[in-house]
Structure 1
Amino acid sequence: MDINDYVYKEPHPFGDLSIIAMKGCEEIASKIDYYLKAWRQDNNGVIYSEDSQEKTFLLDAVCPRFGSGEAKGVINETVRGKDIYIISDVFNYGVTFKMYGMEVPMSPDDHYQDLKRIIAAMNGKAKRITVIMPMLYEGRQHKRATRESLDCALALQELTSMGVENIISFDIHDPRVQNAIPLHGFEDFHPHYQMIKAFVRTFPDSKIDRNHMMIISPDEGGMSRCIYYSSVMELDLGMFYKRRDYSVIINGKNPVVSHEFLGDNVEGKDVIVVDDMIASGDSMIDVAKKLKERKARNVYVFSAFGLFTEGFAKFDKAYEEGTISRIFTTNLIYRKPELDNKPWCVEVDMSKYIANIVDTLNYDRSLSELLDPVQKIKKLLKKC
């Protein structure tokens, strides 16, 4: 056949795309479904070759529970030959179930078990299974300091042994946990572009240069994350290191005695403190106070996961006192409804990004540009 006779054909998906939203993920899954439908419909508004515009990529799957708290996974549609993407937020404590007449919030362990139940319900009939777990289950238990369990590694091995081909997560505490499953797909995405975009939209008049802004790491463990921000935004970098009391353990960890700062002068500058998660928030507020003592102009916080395990009162106070100006956090995990009304919180929507990841994987295309959006960030900052 002559090369001129070649007719370009649209690439075909790896399999029929289907998305399963585990309990508590319905909202973000619905947004992902919206984007995928918009991208994949033809000029007549028809998705693929089906006649109905009401087509959805969401698959009907549930985990009903018995009165004892036990459960089972049920899928009410066929999965044979499908490319399945399961979205699971194991940190959604807003989901409850009844056990012996009591209303019980679901723990990460409960969510993880439900995830396995749905995978088991497929009976190996799906063409490919990808688990999207925005905040990795047991991600903080990634290494062994003494005689203790390695829960994250065990969970990853368990999922892949059940037939999961790819695991997608965000801002993983330590991405080296992927060493537990070296022969399977494991991708660690970051909300760098989305965070910077949200910041620029919220503060369009901010001066993003070395004379007016700095990136700060709240501890030594988050340096690689902050180095990326400082490099693409062309800003100077500072760091705090935590002095801990290793003689005692409180709430499962050694308490922080003080935060010591290493870096250039922050006086009169806006500073962006970047961390993977906000748990109780004590460390973050302490870092912000130290920066304000050094006469920083505004303290902004970028954190992918806002857990706020001890409520919002301390953040309300920090905002009223001017210690923290804004906290940018994503919708990757459950957020209490009242957080929407907090003037110090800006939600960074990640649904379009996840939809892009799903769309790319379903067509078996490269994820390189999605993993490292440096050119998009540079283009965004040039407009500022």
Structure 2
Amino acid sequence: MNRPLKILTGTANRAIVEEAAQYLGVPISNMLVTKFSDGEVRVQINESIRGADVYVFQSLSSPANQHIMELLLIIDALKRSSAGRITAVIPYFAYARQDRQDKPRTPVSARLLADLITVAGANRVVTIDLHSPQIQGFFDIPVDHLSALPVLYEYIKKNLILENPVVVSPDAGGVERARLLANRLGCGIAIIYKRRPEPNKAEVLDVVGEIDGKEAIIIDDLIDTAGTMVAAANMLINRGAKRVLACATHGVLSGPAVERLTNSPIEQVIITNTIPIGDKLFDKLRIVSVAPLLGEAIKRIHEEESVSSLFI
């Protein structure tokens, strides 16, 4: 491909962008993202990107609405500056839990966000572990939906000694994710049955599968307030699990999450760097990087090669 490769970033997660840019051997393009005195976002690209293959990094983490607005304005600026192709690289996609009308008179917020990104001018989206895979269908442009599972598996393989593991899905929706990790580890799976009476609150009711005497690895797409994860860990210990580990792609860690995880029976909490952790570090936390995964995906997209082998 003759188009030059350019990388731009919003303010959400610059560390992951720097690592991905280093992997690709390209500099981060010069761009200004600030605010006017009234809080409006200001974007100015300070170099020519005409005809370039541009990748805009932005995790839509807290404050999500500001980061969403930054992304939309950057994409619009690129479109108006005659970029050749614009790819939104979104390690963490906000509003993904609002992917359907679960109650009357509620929005499908994930679909609205997909429409906004498309209308702004993005030609493609790269993201990691959407809360609901069907969100890919909300876009009218190609979506490369990557999985962080290989990254988490490599950490487990290199850093943990497991004699009798079992992979645990904290709900029925995560069974496929648990099965894929269990296949790599060569072990069985268990499923926790829960119900959610209201947002950010879960009631763990039962577990299906053999737990007694095993090393339980709970795998989920994200940890928000950690209520589900800690309740699951407590149930597994009560059912005879020898030790409990927790894995997730996105460490949202809002509200009481850090305190809950610190005081829980969970031995290690393993997450990726799709969301910057900031001051939420604690002793049990282990962070692995998905920057090489994103860098390899960008390299293959730019060179028109297959990305499918990176999906799992």
Q: Tell me the TM-score range normalised by the shorter chain.
A: over 0.9
Deviation at 1:124, TM superposition (A): 5.1
Q: Which residue of 2 aligns with 1:213?
A: 165
Q: Which residue of 2 aligns with 1:167?
A: 125
Q: Which residue of 2 aligns with 1:274?
A: 219
1:119 to 56, 75, 85: 75
In the alignment, the residues of structure 1 paired with residue 120 and residue 144 of structure 2 have an alpha-carbon distance, to the nearest angstrom, of 18
Q: Specify the code of the residue in structure 2 equivalent to 1:90.
A: L
* Superposition TM-score, scaled by structure 1 size: 0.77
Structure 2 CA distance for partners of 1:236 and 1:20, relative to 1, 3 Å: same
2:31 to 50, 55, 61: 61
Q: Which residue of 1 aligns with 2:295?
A: 355
In the alignment, the residues of structure 2 paired with residue 127 and residue 244 of structure 1 have an alpha-carbon distance, to the nearest angstrom, of 45
2:259 to 313, 316, 326: 313
2:176 to 213, 218, 224: 224
Which string of whole-angstrom CA distances, capped at 9 and with x for unpartnered residues, describes residues 88-110 of structure 1? Answer: 0121x4xxxxxxxxxxxxx2111
Q: Specify the code of the residue in structure 2 equivalent to 1:76.
A: N
In the alignment, the residues of structure 1 paired with residue 36 and residue 120 of structure 2 have an alpha-carbon distance, to the nearest angstrom, of 24
Deviation at 1:255, TM superposition (A): 4.0
Structure 2 CA distance for partners of 1:294 and 1:371, relative to 1, 3 Å: same
In the alignment, the residues of structure 2 paired with residue 188 and residue 358 of structure 1 have an alpha-carbon distance, to the nearest angstrom, of 12
Alignment RMSD (CA, Å): 1.6
Unaligned runs of 5+ in 2: none
Given that 1:73 and 1:120 are in contact with CA atoms closer than 8 Å, whether structure 2 keeps it comes out as: no
Structure 2 CA distance for partners of 1:300 and 1:233, relative to 1, 3 Å: same
In the alignment, the residues of structure 1 paired with residue 41 and residue 308 of structure 2 have an alpha-carbon distance, to the nearest angstrom, of 39
Q: How does 1:52-201 map to 2 (within 5 A)?
A: 56-91=26-61, 93=62, 107-122=63-78, 123=80, 125-145=82-102, 146-182=104-140, 184-201=141-158
Partner SS for 1:64: strand
Larger Rg: 1
- Percent identity, aligned pairs only? 22
Partner SS for 2:35: coil
In the alignment, the residues of structure 1 paired with residue 200 and residue 74 of structure 2 have an alpha-carbon distance, to the nearest angstrom, of 37
In the alignment, the residues of structure 1 paired with residue 298 and residue 249 of structure 2 have an alpha-carbon distance, to the nearest angstrom, of 20
Structure 2 CA distance for partners of 1:14 and 1:326, relative to 1, 3 Å: farther
1:292 to 237, 241, 265: 237
Structure in which a larger fraction of residues adopt strand: 2
Given that 2:8 and 2:28 are in contact with CA atoms closer than 8 Å, whether structure 1 keeps it comes out as: yes
Structure 2 CA distance for partners of 1:358 and 1:164, relative to 1, 3 Å: same
Partner SS for 2:42: coil
Total equivalences in the alignment:
309
* Superposition TM-score, scaled by structure 2 size: 0.94
Partner SS for 1:143: coil
Given that 1:259 and 1:287 are in contact with CA atoms closer than 8 Å, whether structure 2 keeps it comes out as: no
Given that 2:127 and 2:144 are in contact with CA atoms closer than 8 Å, whether structure 1 keeps it comes out as: yes
Partner SS for 1:332: coil
1:346 to 286, 289, 294: 286
Which string of whole-angstrom CA distances, capped at 9 and with x for unpartnered residues, describes residues 265-299 of structure 1? Answer: x1221111000111111111111011011111111
In the alignment, the residues of structure 2 paired with residue 88 and residue 244 of structure 1 have an alpha-carbon distance, to the nearest angstrom, of 30
Which string of whole-angstrom CA distances, capped at 9 and with x for unpartnered residues, describes residues 94-145 of structure 1? Answer: xxxxxxxxxxxxx211111111111111205000000011111211111112
In the alignment, the residues of structure 2 paired with residue 347 and residue 278 of structure 1 have an alpha-carbon distance, to the nearest angstrom, of 13
Deviation at 1:14, TM superposition (A): 5.4
Q: Specify the code of the residue in structure 2 equivalent to 1:129.
A: I
Which string of whole-angstrom CA distances, capped at 9 and with x for unpartnered residues, describes residues 51-107 of structure 1? Answer: xxxxx431111222111111222100111010000000121x4xxxxxxxxxxxxx2
In the alignment, the residues of structure 2 paired with residue 270 and residue 228 of structure 1 have an alpha-carbon distance, to the nearest angstrom, of 17
In the alignment, the residues of structure 2 paired with residue 144 and residue 236 of structure 1 have an alpha-carbon distance, to the nearest angstrom, of 34
In the alignment, the residues of structure 2 paired with residue 179 and residue 334 of structure 1 have an alpha-carbon distance, to the nearest angstrom, of 27
Structure 2 CA distance for partners of 1:14 and 1:354, relative to 1, 3 Å: farther
In the alignment, the residues of structure 2 paired with residue 304 and residue 254 of structure 1 have an alpha-carbon distance, to the nearest angstrom, of 18
Q: Which residue of 2 aligns with 1:304?
A: 249
